């Protein structure tokens, strides 16, 4: 089974503003670069504005949206800093709106953001290893979504329970089978 990392993230950075362009399908299997970029820029005070450009985003999952939410929460702690979600279309717009990202970030149509950038063609990523994130990052991303919109607690209860169970199992606390207990 091969996993495709079918998304590229490209960046434009100026003195006080940074833009990340999502090109393809952003999900937990390939969003590590997005998370690292947002963690760096949201933690760097000189970046007063971060724009996430969705003009070439085909789809996005809750983990990638949670990474964006976490960065927006971080930026919100300093007056005068903001995050913009630009050029959201259909599915990504619906997901961002339903999960409450509009409470943290401006949702704007900004064709000039997309025009400033000449994207590469969608990459052939069939031979590239995915750059996914681990359970802790997935948990943190979903906790950020639950913080911004209380109804998200119910929506992501199963995700959080699964992560909690997987962490216990990988920590060596797996339940013993009946044959092992009898021995």
Q: What residue segments make up the domains of the chain, in order of their start?
A: 7-173
CA 73 vs CA 55, 63, 132, 183: distances in Å: 23, 15, 22, 52
pTM for the model: 0.78
Q: What is the pLDDT of residues 31-72, one digit of tens each?
A: 999 999 999 999 999 999 999 999 999 999 999 999 999 999
Return all residues near 51 (Cβ < 8 A) that are at least 6 apart: 17, 18, 19, 20, 83, 84, 85, 86, 110, 113
Beta strand segments in 5-157, E: 7-13, 17-26, 49-60, 82-86, 106-108
Q: What is the pLDDT of residues 119-174, one digit of tens each?
A: 444 444 444 455 667 888 898 999 999 999 989 999 999 989 988 887 655 555 44
Domain 7-173 has CATH 3.30.750.24: yes
């Amino acid at each position: 089974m091969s996993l495709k990392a079918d998304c590229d993230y490209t960046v434009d950075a100026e003195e006080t503003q940074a833009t990340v362009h999502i090109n393809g399908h952003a999900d937990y299997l390939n969003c590590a670069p997005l998370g690292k970029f947002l963690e760096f820029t949201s933690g760097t005070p000189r970046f007063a504005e971060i724009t996430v450009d969705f003009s070439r985003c085909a789809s996005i999952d809750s983990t990638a949206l949670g990474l964006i939410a976490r960065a927006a929460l971080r930026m919100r702690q300093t007056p005068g800093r903001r995050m913009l979600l630009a050029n959201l279309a259909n599915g990504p717009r619906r997901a961002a709106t339903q999960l409450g990202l509009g409470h943290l970030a401006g949702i704007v149509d900004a064709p000039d953001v997309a025009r400033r950038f000449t994207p590469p063609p969608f990459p052939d990523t069939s031979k590239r290893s995915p750059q996914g994130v681990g359970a802790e990052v997935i948990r943190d991303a979903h906790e950020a979504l639950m913080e911004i919109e209380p109804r998200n607690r119910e929506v992501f209860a199963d995700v959080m329970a699964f992560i909690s169970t997987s962490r216990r199992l990988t920590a060596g606390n797996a339940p013993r089978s009946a044959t092992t207990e009898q021995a």
